[in-house]
Structure formats: C-alpha cells, structure tokens
Amino acid sequence: MCAKTIDDNTPATTEELYSSLLEGNKQFVKNTLASDPEYFEKLAAGQSPPVLWIGCADSRVPANQITNMPPGEIFVHRNIANMVVHSDMNMLSVLDYAVNVLKVKHVIVTGHYGCGGVMAAITNQQYGLIDNWLRHIKDVYRLHASKLETITDLNERCDKLVEYNVIENVYNLCKTSIVQNAWKNGQQIGVHGWVYSLKTGLITDMKVTAYDNANMQNVFKFK
C-alpha cells in the first residue's frame, strides 16, 4: 500500500493512513538498502551534526529536505513559530546538548512566511493554552509595532512579523549562558536567522549572524 496524498481523488481512512505509514517505512528501507547496503549500519554508528536547527513545527518545513542535507547532518528542535524562550527547558536542553556535547558549528533559527502561529499572535482571538506561548510573539510585535502598523495588508504584516520574530529569537539565543559560555571557551559557533518561503522554496538570510557577544547590550553579557 502506498501512502495517500492530498492529490488522491479519495481521502484515506484513518486505518488506511496509519497502515500506509508503516508500509511507507518498509518501502523506504527497501529503496535505501538497494542503493547503499550499509546505510543503516553507518547511520547507527553515531551522529556529529554540524548544525542545530530551531524551526517551526509546521509540517511543510522539513529541515533536511529544504537544505538538501542527508540524515545525521542537522540536529533539530521544533516548536510553534520557532521560538527561543529563556524559560523553555525543552529548547534549552536541546541547545545545551547540541553545543556542549555535539559541538555544533552553527545554530540557525528558521521561520517561514505564512506562519500560522505568527498570524494567530497578531489577532485578538483566544485559542486556548497556546495563547500563553503566542504571548512571546506578541512581545516581538510590541517591540516593532511602529513599523508593523504602517503595513495595512494583514498577510504582509504577518510576514514582516515572521522576519522580526526570527531576528529577535536569534538575539534570544545569543543571550543564553549556553551560547555565551561556548564563545568564552573558544568554540566557533555561528548563530543565524533564516526565513523560508513556502511559495518559492527559497531561504532568505536575515543577516543577523553572530559569532560572539560583542554587539550585545551590556546588561545581557556574561563574564
């Protein structure tokens, strides 16, 4: 059985969809071994990815696929709207492991245009538990409100907020003791901000790369 796609004429039932995932896995293994009989042995031997990707949980933004990288090259953390929140122990644990154990060379915050989380954050609607998470995006809006509110088209305003959200979360990464201690200890780590377009498939570099805390406000610097 092959997995049904959104292009199929008839929707898959719940059972068919579930079964197709398992059948798809078997086909993946078969195809992979046909091209490289030692693929899984090599993959199981360990990982040393040079990149940590902090991205949105959106299913349309798979880190490896859109960068054309094989498994084992990108360590991935994803959440709603690619946030770096200083009290998020999940994100901090991933960051700590990536920096201090895996010794990644790059940490990339990647947002995407048309982000549902960002769009939800610029409305006045209540959505439930997620409202507490979206509050962090609203704070980004507050920082850039004077520019955002000159944009009358709601979708364009959302996309501009996507960019500001990436930029602010790059700054949030740089503020962490994890990244700053790595820099202080001589680790070569670049922190970057990207935005991916679902319409074109292209990534835009937000040009906020940092390799040290030299340009950070003094109050956030650790000695």
Q: Are 80 and 112 in contact (CB under 8 A)?
A: no
**Beta strand pairing status for 203-205 and 190-196?**
antiparallel
Provide the terminal-to-terminal Cα distance of the chain, rounded to the nearest Å. Answer: 59
**Cα separation, 56 vs 197, whole angstroms:** 13
Q: Are 167 and 206 in contact (CB under 8 A)?
A: yes
* Residues with Cβ within 8 Å of residue 158, at least 6 apart in sequence: 114, 115, 118, 119, 122
| CA 37 to each of CA 28, 30, 69, 70, 128: distance values in angstroms, whole numbers, following the listed order | 13, 10, 20, 16, 48
**Cα separation, 59 vs 211, whole angstroms:** 30
Q: Which two tokens stand for residue 34?
A: 């046909």
**Cα separation, 196 vs 203, whole angstroms:** 4
| Virtual torsion, Cα 88, 209, 142, 52, nearest 10 deg | -20
Q: Which residues carry out catalysis?
A: 56, 58, 60, 112, 115
**Cα separation, 111 vs 166, whole angstroms:** 6
